[in-house]
Structure formats: C-alpha cells, structure tokens
Amino acid sequence: MNGLRGGGPRSFAILLAIALTGCGGLLPDPPKRQLYRLEPALAQPAARLPQVPVQLLVAVPLAPAGLDTARIALSRTPLSLDYFADSEWADRAPLLVQSALIDAFEKSRAVGSVARDSAAFRADFVLETTIRDFQAGYDAPNGPPRVSVAINAKLVKIPERKIVGQTSFSREAAVVANDVPAVVRAFGEALGAAAGDLVAWTVTNPGLSQRRASLH
C-alpha cells in the first residue's frame, strides 16, 4: 500500500501506458485500400486524322464533388452514388481523365504538341472538359455492372478565350465479372474510347482547320 500511495499520478500513468501497450495487439489494423491504375484502351481511329501544327493545353477536368475523388464510384439506383470498399484510384478521377486525354493526343500525333494546362508554353488552344459521369452502374443486384464515362468538352482559342467548339461524349463498357479488377478494366475501355472520340473531334474542328490553313 505504501508503494502505491507514494507513486501518485506518475505511477498511474506508467501503469496505464503498459496496459495499453499490452492490449495493442488486440486492436485490428485499419483496412488498407487497394490502389488501381487506370490504363485507357485507345482504339485506332476509323479514319486517318489530319495533322494540325498547333500547341494544345488540356485543362484539369471539372467534376461534381462525388466524382472529384480517388474513390471508385458506383451506382445501384439512378439517384444513388456509392463507392467500392477498400479500393481507390491511384489519383483523383479528374487527373486520371486529364492524363488519358493527353496520352490519346500524344499517341495520335495529330497535334504539334500537347501538355497539361500547368505547362509553361504558349498555347494556341485550350481543351476544357467537365466529367458528367464516371461510375459503374448496377442494373441487377448480383450481376456485373456497366461502366459509364461521359464528358463535356469546350475548345477555347487563345489568347481571345473564344469558344470555337463544344460537344459531349459518352461511352459505356460491359464488366465481365463482378469484381473490382474487372470494373477497372472496363473503365479503361470506356475512357479510352471517349478519349479517342475527343481527339478526333478536336483535330477536325473548323477552328483548328482555319489555324492550319493560316500557317500554309
């Protein structure tokens, strides 16, 4: 009793710390989320694209709050939005879409140069986009979903900040199995198709055609 009485609050704190340390192994670790890279499957264009010697900047897409996240979105009803548990994209969805668009332009070799809007070079045009849909939708409770990607686009001429064209693209892809890796592959298929559509629309836009004619 004398030993306990003499220790006071300091002894109690030491005993509490020892007790918590001993219980540490009983507490489960927080779940670790699996990160997934998005690799768009770019299709070959149906027709040969024109070569346009312009410098194009691709802005970070705008997105509603529910899609401006690294979480992989899903919908079980037309009015609901949820996310796959313990799974995330390697980056926020708008940055993944921006990278996919830049990659599609680079592989097409249809423009003189293309970069993110943060790049320090003088642009002739800026491609501004808004993500309207970027999710896996379930029509049946136990079946695999379908992935939907929908993007609004505006082509803006610099330095006038004049909109020379605007359009919308949407693509879907079937998911072959009801698991996250299959969903990720379907996202790559749908986004790759939408990016290809956007490249073809951009380089055949009359605004770019006029720019090409003025350089000859």
- Please give the pLDDT value at position 2: 47
b vs e for 30-56, b when ≥16 Cβ sit within 10 Å of the residue's Cβ? eeeeeebebbbbbeeeeeebeebebbb
Beta-strand pair 125-137/146-157: antiparallel
Q: What whole-number distance in Å separates Cα of residue 72 and Cα of residue 36?
A: 9
- For residue 124, give its domain range: 40-214
Residue 88 has pLDDT above 60, yes or no: yes
Amino acid residing at 147:
V
Q: Tell me if 105 sits within 8 A of 58, measured CB to CB.
A: yes
Q: Tell me if 175 sits within 8 A of 183, measured CB to CB.
A: yes
Number of CB atoms found within 10 A of residue 104's CB = 25
- Please give the pLDDT value at position 20: 45
Q: Tell me if 50 sits within 8 A of 203, measured CB to CB.
A: yes
Q: For the chain, what is the mean pLDDT?
A: 85
Q: What whole-number distance in Å separates Cα of residue 77 and Cα of residue 100?
A: 28
Tokens at residue 123, please?
Answer: 């642009």
**Is the residue at 179 inside a domain?**
yes
**Is the residue at 2 inside a domain?**
no
**Is the residue at 30 inside a domain?**
no
- 46-55, 71-80, 126-135, 138-147: lowest mean pLDDT where? 46-55
**Is the residue at 25 inside a domain?**
no
Q: What whole-number distance in Å separates Cα of residue 191 and Cα of residue 159?
A: 30
**Is the residue at 209 inside a domain?**
yes
Counting the structural domains of the chain, the total is 1
**Is the residue at 1 inside a domain?**
no
Q: Tell me if 202 sits within 8 A of 127, measured CB to CB.
A: yes
- Please give the pLDDT value at position 33: 83
- Please give the pLDDT value at position 212: 53
Whole-model pTM: value is 0.82
The 10s digit of each residue's pLDDT in 89-124 is 999 999 999 999 999 999 999 999 999 987 677 889
Tokens at residue 41, please?
Answer: 């499957």
Tokens at residue 176, please?
Answer: 């072959």
3-state secondary structure of 176: coil
The 10s digit of each residue's pLDDT in 143-202 is 899 999 999 999 999 999 999 999 999 999 999 999 999 999 999 999 999 999 999 999
More confident residue, 31 or 93: 93
**Is the residue at 28 inside a domain?**
no
For residue 167, give the CATH number of its domain. Answer: 3.40.50.10610
**Is the residue at 195 inside a domain?**
yes
Tokens at residue 197, please?
Answer: 């559509």
